[in-house]
Structure 1
Amino acid sequence: MNMFTRQISLAVVLGLAAFCAQAEEIRIGFINTDRIFKEANTAKQAQAKLEQEFSKREKELNDAGNALKSSVEKFEREAPTLSESQRAARQKQLGEQDRDFQRKRREFQEELNARKNEEFQQVLERANRVIKQVAEAEKYDLVLQEAVYINPKHDITDKVLKVINAAK
């Protein structure tokens, strides 16, 4: 949803809330999703799973990057003593190695981002179920996940985190 649509939606919801507030008391809650992603046990488990899954490849990429850097530095030191054809061949070889390294880095990053999205989508789905449970149990009329400003008395993040972290 683009920013304009969100702003319009928020304005409509708040307008509706103000209209309804005249008829009865309305309960509004707020969830800090950043805190959910940092503090929920399920999010911590997802992060640990990702680190375990990708740490070996990341180390290999870092090692390959360091090796490439060393090769470039060695070439720069030796370049003045090389013939023109040797220099051109080494430059071409280093260029190919760099392109290969950049491609592997990009593929790694894309795969890591895709897996992060998968894992954190599951965390978000779980959090949304818990948010709905808390909202229904405590009779909230509206729960927001994003706002420019929120009075801390409306923040129910701690309640939701408690329920998420209590679950197995």
Structure 2
Amino acid sequence: MNKLFKNTALVVLATLTMGTSVQALAHKVGIVDMQTIYAQVPQTAAIENTLKGEFSERRQELEKLQGDIRFEIEKFQREAPTMSEDQKKALNDKINNMQKQFAEKGRPLEQEIKQRQNQELAKLQKTIITAIEEVAKDGDYDEVKVKDGTIYFNPKEVTDLSGKVVERVSKK
């Protein structure tokens, strides 16, 4: 009798423990596609437009210099057979100086553009993360994963929250 009671108690305890662990594993999971979110929120286009406006004058200056370099190279190729050695050397020096000037202006501009872009995207990322947290809390999700970092997910068990996040971020 005592042995039967112990066995029954162990079975009940095991059943309760299994029920608890199954319940602990059954939680609500959402997933977000960050690339889709960045592509669809209007703030991304606004950042691009802001940066284009902010750096347009300097970009135009570089594009003009690049056009001038191309013109001088074509001139050199076209007229080299009829030019004296001194003329060839002078034009070649001019082209080299223009290319050097282009590199000296282009690299810092490119770095500055990337830095500004990273600053603006960091702000947008904070907004997106806040929206993800809000959507997760509103939907009582226990966990939200990034789609790119997930090898597999069952679409029947995991909800894609990207659309809701885009909607929320678009309102801000």
Q: Please say whether Structure 1 and Structure 2 have the same fold, judged by a TM-score greater than 0.5.
A: yes
Query: Under a length normalisation based on structure 2, what TM-score does the superposition of the two structures give?
Result: 0.77
Distance 1:55 1:21 in 2: 59
- Aligned residue pair count: 148
Aligned CA distance change for structure 1 residues 30 and 21 (closer, same or farther; 3 Å):
farther
Structure 1 gap ranges (5+): 1-19
Aligned CA distance change for structure 1 residues 160 and 21 (closer, same or farther; 3 Å):
farther
Structure 2 gap ranges (5+): 1-20
**Structure 1 residue 97, shift from structure 2 partner:** 0.9
SS at match of 1:26: coil
**Structure 1 residue 56, shift from structure 2 partner:** 2.6
Distance 1:21 1:55 in 2: 59
Aligned CA distance change for structure 1 residues 54 and 149 (closer, same or farther; 3 Å):
farther
CA contact (8 A) 2:32 2:160 kept: yes
String of CA shifts for 1:12-47, please: whole Å, max 9, x gaps.
xxxxxxxx6663421111111112212112222222
Aligned residue in 1 for 2:162: 157
1:66-85 alignment runs, 5 A limit: 66-85=67-86
String of CA shifts for 1:109-141, please: whole Å, max 9, x gaps.
111111111111100011001111111221212
Task: Please tell me the residue identity of whatever aligns with 1:64.
Answer: L
**Structure 1 residue 72, shift from structure 2 partner:** 0.9
Aligned residue in 1 for 2:28: 27
Distance 1:48 1:72 in 2: 33
Task: Please tell me the residue identity of whatever aligns with 2:163.
Answer: D
Q: CA RMSD in A?
A: 1.9
Distance 1:45 1:139 in 2: 32
Distance 1:151 1:57 in 2: 49
Aligned residue in 2 for 1:86: 87
Aligned residue in 2 for 1:132: 133
Identity across the alignment (%): 28
Q: Which has the larger radius of gyration?
A: 2
Distance 1:139 1:30 in 2: 13
1:6-155 alignment runs, 5 A limit: 23-145=24-146, 146=148, 147-152=150-155, 154-155=159-160
**Structure 1 residue 60, shift from structure 2 partner:** 2.2
Task: Please tell me the residue identity of whatever aligns with 2:82.
Answer: T
String of CA shifts for 1:93-112, please: whole Å, max 9, x gaps.
21121121123222221111
CA contact (8 A) 1:36 1:43 kept: no
**Structure 1 residue 59, shift from structure 2 partner:** 2.2
